[in-house]
């Protein structure tokens, strides 16, 4: 195998025109998690998957009653929007003509209704609350409106790119909400009354599409979520189309391991698939979420989100190498260096998509995620087909396909090449521990530098060790000795001292069912826990979510509180103070999702699905 040639061949074979046609077709459906629109999209994807050469293509349907659970993941409620009209003060908003204007899970009904501002929400029973005070978060306004019996809410949720932003209500409620353009709330307030008419249908099932390219052994999983309102071109019609295109080029290749393709609603679809369909956890996976952004329009690079550090990281190292092998459009002035005008970055694990289920210790599948961030049109009506770059879609699909191909096709003969990829990746991460010349050392530089060095050495060694599973057979110790020697040398470049890592308290033991779920945790933690989670996500949605997931992954039945916080800080790259970590662990214990005394709960050690072959990392 020559990985560069694999990348070149798959890139050349990818049909960008066909993929763009798939994106356009999917953009025509309102793909709410359990709706008529996502059912239509699922049928389309299943037909295209069969045409691409996948075997055993199925559309699995799951009841969407809001009560069924897969571990702590609650099934969505069937909801299909039909129409919505809001009129008043010269403002007219119409759904479906204007996508995203009608909030998800709005109830049907309407009439001519009075309007009240946020300050007067207590008087708004049976009326409409206008979100006229941006200092009050929308989540708080929605909660107040529901508590006081308001008929609905109108808010100006506008994306940085100018599109109408997404609003989601509590599933199963009777109220409605509209998201309107800037200035509309003021005009509605001046009018004093609005006319509203909303029609919805309920009862649709939740679909998950699966298909496979046959082989022997543990499966390589390729996943892209199918949901989100119309048009949602980049999030995530492009991811769905990228995998359909990947299926077409991978079907023509011989493989050792099977490659499984899955498309379904985000989070709940993956939960249902792992819980009810998968016979065992995948051997490795690639998750594709937001695949085709025009970088100049949308504002963000291609992101390679690495596997969390408690699992072998080679799948991320491989994907990063594949990105570096992508054909470039130009060369430097003298022709010695390939160059292009697009950008990419590798980031630590975040987990804000379906891969968060796969990497949980109860499943244990090494995953890399491909996407784009930031995107100024994300989750808004501005996420349209014209924001998709066919060349970028080709690049992302090629990375997904080539990563899967190498993992599915590798044999013992390929170990030297793959070992070189792992070593270069691990060495680069070790060298990042060396302070930049002339830079003022940050506080606790000694502890952080040495702790990070030891942590990253363990991650690198785990990536090397996993090659025994990828290629078959066993490698010699030369590569491990070389990496360990490099770590020792890097250690001499750091200030003297040794980090203390001796447990001082009882170990934190996990007791939650299946993969960790922030929403499920908030629900289990009661009113106080839900308020704590909401406050952290309101203050810093991405950072708060990432910290919670990193702390959950750090709970291994061995580390005490301080070690959990320290490990999560090193793995996430974010500072996680003892206060945040302590409050989070307190809530885990109060919810029955963790314990610090007594024996380990059976739920803490039982795998959610039959475990895959690979061994865990540090």
pLDDT in tens, 48-76: 999 999 999 999 999 999 999 999 999 99
Cα–Cα dist 121/124, whole Å:
5
DSSP code at position 131: -
Of 586, 593, 543, the C-alpha closest to 568 is 543
Query: Does 602 have pLDDT greater than 50?
Result: no
Query: Across the chain, what does the average pLDDT equal?
Result: 93
pLDDT at 603: 42
Query: Would you state the CATH architecture of domain 3-73+205-409?
Result: 3-Layer(aba) Sandwich (3.40)
Confidence label for 449 from pLDDT (cuts 50, 70 and 90): confident
Share of the chain above pLDDT 70, in %: 94
600 vs 240, more confident: 240
514: left (phi over 0), alpha (psi -120 to 50) or beta: left
pLDDT tens for each residue of 148-181: 999 999 999 999 999 999 999 999 999 999 999 9
Cα–Cα dist 87/493, whole Å:
68
Query: Does 614 have pLDDT greater than 50?
Result: no
The two tokens of residue 491 are: 């250690």
Of 329, 167, 232, the C-alpha closest to 37 is 232
Overall average pLDDT of the 500-529 stretch: 91
Confidence label for 444 from pLDDT (cuts 50, 70 and 90): very low
Give CA 558 to chain center in angstroms.
27
Of 247, 202, 204, the C-alpha closest to 224 is 247
473 vs 610, more confident: 473
Query: Does 604 have pLDDT greater than 50?
Result: no
CB distance 575 to 543 below 8 Å: no
DSSP code at position 498: -
**Residues linked to residue 104 through DSSP beta bridges, in sequence order:** 168
Query: Does 612 have pLDDT greater than 90?
Result: no
| C-alpha to C-alpha distances, 231 to 25, 26, 185, 236, nearest whole angstrom | 10, 8, 24, 9
pLDDT at 494: 87
Buried-exposed string 571-592: b where 16+ CB fall within 10 A, e elsewhere: bbebebeeebbeebbbbbbebe
DSSP code at position 386: G
Helix axes 541-554, 561-572, angle to 10 degrees: 130
Cα–Cα dist 614/69, whole Å:
28
Residue at token pair 């571990």: 71
Dihedral angle sign, alpha carbons of residues 556, 306, 296, 98: negative
CB distance 48 to 255 below 8 Å: no
**Cis amide prior to 96 (ω within 30 degrees):** yes
Helix axes 314-325, 445-471, angle to 10 degrees: 80
Is beta strand 152-155 parallel, antiparallel or unpaired with respect to 128-130? parallel
Cα–Cα dist 77/169, whole Å:
12
Query: Does 242 have pLDDT greater than 50?
Result: yes
pLDDT at 41: 98
Query: Does 617 have pLDDT greater than 80?
Result: no
For the chain, what are the domain ranges?
3-73+205-409, 80-201, 413-492, 509-605
Measured in residues, the chain has a length of 618
Please give the model's pTM, rounded to 2 decimal places.
0.94
CB distance 229 to 32 below 8 Å: yes
pLDDT at 610: 60
| C-alpha to C-alpha distances, 387 to 243, 299, 326, 393, nearest whole angstrom | 19, 11, 22, 11
Confidence label for 108 from pLDDT (cuts 50, 70 and 90): very high
pLDDT at 606: 52
The two tokens of residue 162 are: 């100018």
pLDDT tens for each residue of 572-586: 999 998 999 999 999
The reply to whether 3-73+205-409 and 80-201 are identical in fold is no
pLDDT tens for each residue of 294-351: 999 999 999 999 999 999 999 999 999 999 999 998 999 999 998 888 999 999 999 9
DSSP for 413-464 reads GGHHHHHHHHHHHHHHHHHTTSPPTTPPPPTTHHHHHHHHHHHHHHHHHHHH
Query: Would you state the CATH architecture of domain 80-201?
Result: 3-Layer(bba) Sandwich (3.50)
CB distance 19 to 389 below 8 Å: no
Query: Does 600 have pLDDT greater than 80?
Result: no
Overall average pLDDT of the 98-114 stretch: 97
Cα–Cα dist 421/427, whole Å:
10
**Residues linked to residue 220 through DSSP beta bridges, in sequence order:** 259, 284
The two tokens of residue 341 are: 């005008």
pLDDT tens for each residue of 13-62: 999 999 999 999 999 999 999 999 999 999 999 999 999 999 999 999 99
């Amino acid at each position: 195998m020559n990985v560069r040639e694999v990348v070149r061949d798959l890139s050349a074979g990818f049909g960008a025109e066909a993929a763009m046609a798939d994106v356009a077709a999917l953009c025509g459906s309102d793909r709410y998690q359990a709706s008529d629109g996502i059912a239509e999209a699922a049928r389309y994807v299943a037909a295209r998957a069969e045409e691409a050469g996948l075997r055993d293509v199925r559309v699995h349907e799951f009841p969407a009653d809001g009560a069924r659970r897969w571990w702590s993941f609650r099934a969505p409620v069937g909801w299909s929007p039909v129409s919505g009209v809001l009129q008043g003060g010269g403002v007219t908003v119409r759904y479906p003509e204007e996508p995203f204007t009608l909030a998800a899970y709005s109830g049907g009904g309407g009439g001519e209704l009075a309007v009240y501002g946020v300050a007067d929400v207590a008087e708004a029973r049976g009326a409409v609350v206008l979100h006229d005070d941006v200092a009050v978060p929308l989540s708080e306004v929605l909660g107040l409106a529901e508590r006081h019996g308001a008929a609905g809410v109108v808010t100006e949720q506008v994306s940085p790119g100018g599109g109408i932003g997404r609003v989601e209500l509590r599933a199963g409620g009777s109220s409605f909400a509209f998201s309107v353009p800037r200035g509309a709330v003021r005009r509605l307030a001046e009018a004093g009354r609005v006319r509203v008419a909303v029609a919805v249908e309920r009862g649709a099932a939740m679909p998950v599409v699966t298909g496979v390219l046959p082989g022997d052994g543990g499966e390589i999983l390729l996943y892209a979520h199918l949901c989100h309102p119309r048009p949602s071109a980049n999030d995530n019609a492009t991811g769905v189309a990228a995998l359909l295109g990947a299926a077409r080029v991978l079907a023509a290749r011989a493989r050792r391991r099977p490659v499984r393709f899955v498309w379904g609603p985000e989070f709940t679809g993956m939960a249902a698939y792992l819980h009810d369909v998968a016979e065992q956890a995948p051997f490795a996976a690639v998750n594709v979420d937001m695949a085709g952004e025009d970088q100049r329009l949308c504002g963000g690079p291609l992101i390679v989100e690495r596997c969390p550090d408690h699992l072998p990281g080679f799948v991320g190292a491989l994907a990063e190498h594949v990105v570096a092998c992508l054909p470039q459009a130009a060369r430097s002035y003298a022709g010695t260096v390939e160059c292009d005008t697009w950008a990419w970055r590798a980031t630590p694990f975040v987990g804000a998509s379906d891969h968060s289920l796969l990497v949980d210790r109860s499943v244990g599948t090494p995953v890399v995620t491909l996407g784009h961030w930031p995107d100024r049109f994300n989750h808004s009506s501005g996420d349209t087909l014209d924001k998709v770059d066919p060349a970028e879609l080709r690049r992302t699909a090629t990375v997904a396909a080539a990563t899967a191909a190498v993992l599915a096709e590798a044999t013992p003969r390929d170990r030297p090449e793959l070992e070189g990829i792992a070593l270069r990746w691990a060495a680069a991460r070790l060298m990042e521990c060396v302070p930049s010349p002339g830079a003022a050392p940050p506080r606790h530089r000694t502890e952080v530098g040495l702790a990070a060095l030891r942590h990253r050495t363990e991650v690198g060694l785990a990536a090397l060790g996993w090659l025994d599973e990828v290629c078959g057979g066993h490698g010699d110790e030369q590569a491990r000795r070389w990496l360990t020697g490099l770590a020792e040398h890097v250690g001499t470049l750091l200030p003297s001292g040794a980090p203390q890592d001796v447990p001082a308290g009882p170990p934190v033991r996990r007791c939650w069912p299946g993969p960790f779920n922030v929403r499920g945790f908030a629900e289990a933690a009661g009113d106080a826990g839900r308020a704590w989670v909401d406050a952290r996500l309101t203050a810093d949605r991405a950072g708060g979510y990432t910290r919670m997931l990193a702390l959950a992954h750090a709970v291994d039945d061995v580390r005490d509180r301080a070690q959990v916080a320290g490990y999560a800080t090193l793995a996430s790259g974010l500072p996680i103070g003892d206060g945040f970590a302590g409050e989070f662990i307190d809530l885990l214990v109060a919810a029955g999702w963790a314990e610090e005394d007594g024996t380990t709960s059976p739920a803490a050690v039982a795998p959610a699905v039959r475990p895959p072959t690979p061994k865990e990392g540090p």
